[in-house]
Amino acid sequence: MSVNSHLNSVRFTDEFNTQYEKTLPLISNFYSDLGANKDLYQAFKRVSQTELNVQQQHIVNDSLRSFELSGVALDGAKSERFKEIKEQLSVLSNQFSKNVLQSTNSWKKTVSANDLKGYGADEFSKVKKGDHYEISLQVPVYIDLMTYADSSDLREEVYKAYISRASDIGITSKEFNNRPIMDEILKLRSEMSELVGFSNYAEYSTQSKMVESPDAVIEFLNSLIELSTPQAKAELIDLESFAGHPLMPWDLMYYSEKLKQKTFSFKSSDLKPFFPESSVFDGLFETIQNLYNVKLTEIHEKTYHEDVRVINLEDNNGVIGRIYLDVYARENKRGGAWMSDYQGLYKESLPVAFVVCNLNSPSEGKPALFDFDEIVTIFHEFGHALHHLLTKVPFPCAAGISGVPWDGVELPSQYMENFCYEREVVNLISGHWETGEKLPEELFQKVIESKNFQSGLQMLRQCEFALWDISTHISKDDTYEILSEVREKT
């Protein structure tokens, strides 16, 4: 199923999705029955009273909690209802992702070179389609447009198309509206949590997290908001006075880039030629080898898409894991970047991870050239993959990322990001695509200096997402109203 779910995310077709959707209830019901099996639960209880090592203890305790959260204590109609809700949720969450993907693909616009004033050669080459230019809502295209297009009207149009994807407003097709799906998911999650004795889904969810309670989450977010707001306000005032007029949402990235250029006297795009794909990955692999004494070797094997690279991880005794690396943005691929678990370490079976990003691809006579943010993303996702692959735990439910609380799972990935800002590492990952030159010291210093540019605004943006998420899983109020309240605050 992890393979099917991966393919459905990165190589979406209606045909495949239709079959995939048919399997979701089967899988959901299988796990529901397993989680509701009272005999098995009692067996785990008996095992928990025997002598166990620390790994076994952890796994048994995790399993007992998982039985309880799966409604093992429920009987009759309540147990049936719990199972039914789980099944509906698995189908609804797939529909949600499908709508976002199809809505993203449903909008395109043909423009002239004149409409794209402000673009450099690199941005132009990404949207060239024969003798015209085509704008889409794919992330690399969207980011370029919001950052570089001088035309405020065009930015407004594309911004509105992008943020209103899969909704009942905006210009992308209304048939992909996720509003009713969101409402239904929230309602079902709340009912499910109440069935097993919690007052809301946030409380249910934090049972299996490191954080103690939803209150602790809210307190943490509120303190971040309080501490970041003065800085964010100052950044916004700076930006508005630089632009010379009040800013609309579609102006922010555009003027931010210009202000960054003025403040640090360099353009983000100055960095790109120094970071062609091959240098970045060779350098990353060498960094990993230096840190963990393991080797990454590309092997050539046919996969589900020609863009996918197959990479074996080896230690002194041979292969210990594998990564399927799928980096470029393309149509029929879900947006964002993530690592997912193909399989975990268990006996003879080695851990395998999918690393997926939506980054710049090669264009007309040029290799893929990465933005600095994209390089940070790659390091981040490889941090997840290493977490999964370098495991020594001999039990599948606690090996790699399995069984790791979801609010702790970002530690290895965040840790890997830091290496992007080390001169030694930048020497390994940079090499001008034409001359081979390493990133000059002057530009490297600018990367370091500008690292925290507008970090107050960025922090508030993340707090908005997180606070909305936790709040809407506590309250039964309309989720858009809750979002408005959160936005007021952030």
Nearer to Zn ion, 298 or 410 (CB): 410
Give the whole-angstrom CA distance, residue 251 versus residue 249. 5
Q: Which of 32, 99, 358, 413 binds Zn ion (CB under 5 A)?
A: 413
Closest CA to 383 of 313, 288, 280: 288
Write the single-letter amino acid at 217: V
Smallest distance from the beta carbon of 384 to Zn ion, in angstroms?
Answer: 6
Nearer to Zn ion, 13 or 418 (CB): 418
Dihedral over alpha carbons 174, 101, 410, 475 (to 10 degrees): 20
**Among the residue ranges 124-132, 190-198, 412-420, 431-439, the one whose residues contact Zn ion (CB under 5 A):** 412-420
104 binds Zn ion (CB under 5 A): no
Tokens of 295: 């080797």
Cβ-Cβ contacts under 8 Å for 401 (sequence gap 6 or more): 339, 341, 344, 384, 387, 388, 409
Nearer to Zn ion, 343 or 413 (CB): 413
**Among the residue ranges 311-319, 358-366, 411-419, 446-454, the one whose residues contact Zn ion (CB under 5 A):** 411-419
Q: Tell me, by CB under 5 A, how many residues bind Zn ion.
A: 2
Give the whole-angstrom CA distance, residue 431 versus residue 68. 54
DSSP state of 351: P
Smallest distance from the beta carbon of 410 to Zn ion, in angstroms?
Answer: 5
Looking only at residues 179 through 238 of this chain, which bind Zn ion when binding is defined by CB under 5 A? none
The structure tokens 């397993």 sit at 34
Smallest distance from the beta carbon of 392 to Zn ion, in angstroms?
Answer: 22
Nearer to Zn ion, 10 or 356 (CB): 356
Give the whole-angstrom CA distance, residue 295 versus residue 287. 10
Smallest distance from the beta carbon of 158 to Zn ion, in angstroms?
Answer: 27
| Cα–Cα separations (whole angstroms), residue 84 to 70, 75, 190, 194, 202 | 12, 14, 14, 15, 20
The residue annotated as part of the active site, out of 123, 156, 381, 417, is 381
Residue 381 annotated as catalytic: yes
Residue number of the CB closest to Zn ion reads 413
Smallest distance from the beta carbon of 357 to Zn ion, in angstroms?
Answer: 11
Looking only at residues 391 through 410 of this chain, which bind Zn ion when binding is defined by CB under 5 A? 410
Nearer to Zn ion, 198 or 415 (CB): 415
Q: In what order do the strands lie in the sheet with 108-111?
A: 108-111, 132-136, 128-129
List active site positions.
Answer: 381
Residues lying near Zn ion in the complex (CB under 5 A) are found at 410, 413
